[in-house]
Amino acid sequence: MVELAVFFVFAAVAVIFALVVILHRNPVVSALSLVASFFALAVMYVLLEAPFLAALQVIVYAGAIMVLFLFVIMLLNLQHQREETTRPIQQALGYVFSAAFGIGLIFYLIKYAWIRAEQTTPFNSDARAIGIRLFEAYVFPFEMVSILLLAAIVGALLLSQRTDLRGRPTTGVDHPSGQNPEGAAASPRTGQPSFDAGQPSPAAASRRADPHHEGAK
Amino acid sequence: MTWADTLLLLPELIAATGASILLIVPVLGGRARGHMAKWAMLALMAVTALAVIGSTYAVAGVQQTPTFRAMFAVDAFSVFFKLLFVVVIALVTLLSEDFLSEERYSTWEYYSLLAFALCGMMFMASGVSLITIYIGLELLALSSYILAGYYKNHEESTEAAMKYFILGTVSSAILLYGISLIYGVCGSMRLSTIAAALSTMLSNDALMFGIMLLAAGLCFKIAAVPFHVWTPDVYVGAPTPISAFLSTGSKAAAFAVFARVFYVAFPAFHLDWSNVLAAIAALSMIVGNLAAITQTNVKRMLAYSSISHAGYSLLGIIAMNEMGLRGILIYTMVYVFANLGIWATILMLRRHAYAGESVEDFRGLHKRAPFAAFSMVVFLLSLGGIPPTAGFIGKYFLFAAAVQAGFGWLAIVAVVMSAVSMFYYLRLVVAMYLEEGSGAETIYSPSLRFVTALSLTVTLVVGFIPELPIRQVIESSSHLVGRVVQR
């Protein structure tokens, strides 16, 4: 009975904070609510007798990953941006489909809520058991993930570095206000994008005319 | 796990090691020698191809050898697709040469990411467990997101990469949700164990929901309607060689997974899911072809045409018979080569302020580049499914499979929509041969010439002597079909 009460309290916490994540306008608040939602999920793991998973949930998700999220959000220094207006038909379709999906899920939840799970062998979730399975039965996918992460790191570096790989500073839409005073001056903050895709930016044009850069080839 | 098992992994190991070496070279002073990267990449592809062929000899006589706790299999099916992937990546490497030298982007990392993508695709073709398939798919997807945004300073490319990334991760989440439901019902992620568990099971909502979510995730990867919205924007915004890669290699890999998962794991519930997939296929063919008619941008037109081709290929999965599986294999190959040839022609016209994108750029092409114009006609006819070309053979197999399986109405939709598609394919032919105009400048580099010539050869050879590829395909698919017949 106590378990059931704890479950419902933390289920409500998880759902409410999940709603805050998508509804709040301030991204910092969204990120912090996600942390709260993750904590509530960790309680679920405890209730399912998987304390090790609960600890991992707190350390990895609520701890490491969300702190990284917060750092990125704060470093990006997001201005309050107006959301792009979508066509009403798109919005309506979005609501209809997500409502249908939600109703379907609730329907199946109710349908299966009355089925008692058979008592099977207790789930062994201590660190040792998980480690053995990870490095024995699942060692192959585990190693595959390392390749995946390597590709992800390469991509993150490629997309985020400020100079292109030949050592020249990048100009253009990446950093319209950063290291590019000409570009910033050419288009005072009107809310319009500084440069059209087809039109080379003044800075890019000057770069092309600069014989030094030609020599750098 | 023994040394023999590791040998089976050789192609993937070589691709991953090669990708890492391509990353290290610029650090060791190779940055200035960017033009060497192409040759290094082509050498890597040659070695990988040899390893793929070699791995078949390691399992000679054995139809299927699942290793690593039945998560990875080297069989004729996977070898067929792996060889196709290696060829596609090699051709994309050739297509990328001019783009990289012109735009002055770093070459080594670009090819390294292509090699990582190849590694992911090969894992997808060989995966016989949902978890290995999923990780392979993510490896391919991550590399593709980054490559789609490789024009860092172009707004369109960045937008394409963002759209592709966000929608792609959502679809991956849907896929994972489906996998977790299937795992929950069957207690295993191995395809053969799932099939065994399902054969004794009655239809079950949680399972059907899982299969549908899995299909939805895969439909996103092959760009079938209603999961197609990202396709036109990404194909137009991404660097052109990457659009070529996304519309050929990436799709072929997704079809390999689609075919293996549904043919091996879910034959028991064929009646339940085939109607849903039939609706998706019909929608893809109709929406893709009708939307393509109105396009004036050739890349956008190709994007919609690729959506409709996903619809045709789905017929092979819906049919769930020998003919259907063979149809998927043949059609994937045929479609890949015809498409790569068309992208090569677009790249040829691409110089100076984005030419090669509108239909007008193709005007009078037969005077300036007769070979390119002629091969373009062959590729377009092949996509349309006109007899002497390879496309006819592929479509014949798919449509016949659908009729055999009792989906006659779907075959009729497919035939009608193929006729519709000829309308917009022929518009390009008319522009090239009958209309006069200066059009875009053409610079036909040896690499592009080679890609066109190879694609043309494959398209014509498969069209004129289909016995050879068909025999190969029958060999490659018989062990999967065997399972279907047993049921």
Q: Can you tell me the distance from the alpha carbon of B332 to that of B469, in angstroms, rounded to the nearest whole number? A: 12
Decide: B91 and B50 in contact? Cβ < 8 Å. no
- For residue A170, list chain B residues with Cβ-Cβ distance below 8 A: 152-153
Question: Hey, what are A191's tokens?
Answer: 């809310």
Decide: B307 and B286 in contact? Cβ < 8 Å. no
Indicate yes or no: CB of B68 within 8 angstroms of CB of A140: yes
Among the listed residues B296, B320, B319, B293, the one whose alpha carbon sits nearest the alpha carbon of residue B307: B293
Q: Can you tell me the distance from the alpha carbon of B463 to that of B385, in angstroms, rounded to the nearest whole number? A: 10
Smallest Cβ–Cβ distance between B132 and the set A141, A150, A155 belongs to A141
Indicate yes or no: CB of A144 within 8 angstroms of CB of B139: yes
Question: Hey, what are B348's tokens?
Answer: 């040829």
Q: Please tell me whether the peptide bond between A122 and the residue prior to it is cis, using omega within 30 degrees of 0.
A: no
- For residue B19, list chain A residues with Cβ-Cβ distance below 8 A: 150-151
- For residue B354, list chain A residues with Cβ-Cβ distance below 8 A: 198
Local confidence pLDDT in tens for the 487 residues of chain B: 566 677 788 899 999 999 999 999 888 876 777 778 889 999 999 999 999 888 777 665 554 456 666 788 888 888 889 999 999 999 999 998 877 776 667 788 899 999 999 999 999 999 989 999 999 999 999 999 999 988 877 788 888 999 999 999 999 999 999 999 899 888 888 888 888 888 887 777 788 889 999 999 999 999 998 888 899 999 988 888 999 999 999 999 999 999 999 998 888 888 888 999 999 999 999 999 999 998 888 899 999 999 999 999 999 999 888 888 889 999 999 999 999 999 998 888 865 555 567 888 888 888 888 898 999 999 999 999 888 888 899 999 999 999 999 899 999 999 999 999 999 999 889 988 888 776 667 777 888 899 999 999 999 988 888 887 788 777 777 776 544 433 3
Complex ipTM > 0.90: no
Q: How far is A193 from chain B (nearest CA, A)?
A: 10
CB-based contacts of B426, cutoff 8 Å, min separation 6 = B380
Indicate yes or no: CB of A148 within 8 angstroms of CB of B142: yes
Smallest Cβ–Cβ distance between A174 and the set B16, B142, B153 belongs to B153
Q: How far is A113 from chain B (nearest CA, A)?
A: 13
Q: How far is A88 from chain B (nearest CA, A)?
A: 17
What 3 state SS string does chain A have?
CHHHHHHHHHHHHHHHHHHHHHHCCCHHHHHHHHHHHHHHHHHHHHHCCCHHHHHHHHHHHHHHHHHHHHHHHHHHCCCCCCCCCCCHHHHHHHHHHHHHHHHHHHHHHHHHHCCCCCCCCCCCCCHHHHHHHHHHCCHHHHHHHHHHHHHHHHHHHHHHCCECCCCCECCCCCCCCCCCHHHHHHCCCCCCCCCCCCCCCHHHHHHHHCHHHHHCC
Smallest Cβ–Cβ distance between A147 and the set B71, B119, B154 belongs to B119
Q: How far is B385 from chain A (nearest CA, A)?
A: 35
Q: Can you tell me the distance from the alpha carbon of A50 to that of B426, in angstroms, rounded to the nearest whole number? A: 63
Supply the DSSP symbol for B294.
T
HSE (CB half, 13 Å, CA atoms) of A204?
Answer: 18
Supply the DSSP symbol for B193.
H
Smallest Cβ–Cβ distance between B139 and the set A148, A172, A198 belongs to A148
Domain A1-84 belongs to what topology? Answer: Four Helix Bundle (Hemerythrin (Met), subunit A) (1.20.120)
Smallest Cβ–Cβ distance between A170 and the set B150, B152, B353 belongs to B152
- For residue A140, list chain B residues with Cβ-Cβ distance below 8 A: 68-69, 71-72, 132
| Domain edges within chain A | 1-84, 85-114, 126-165
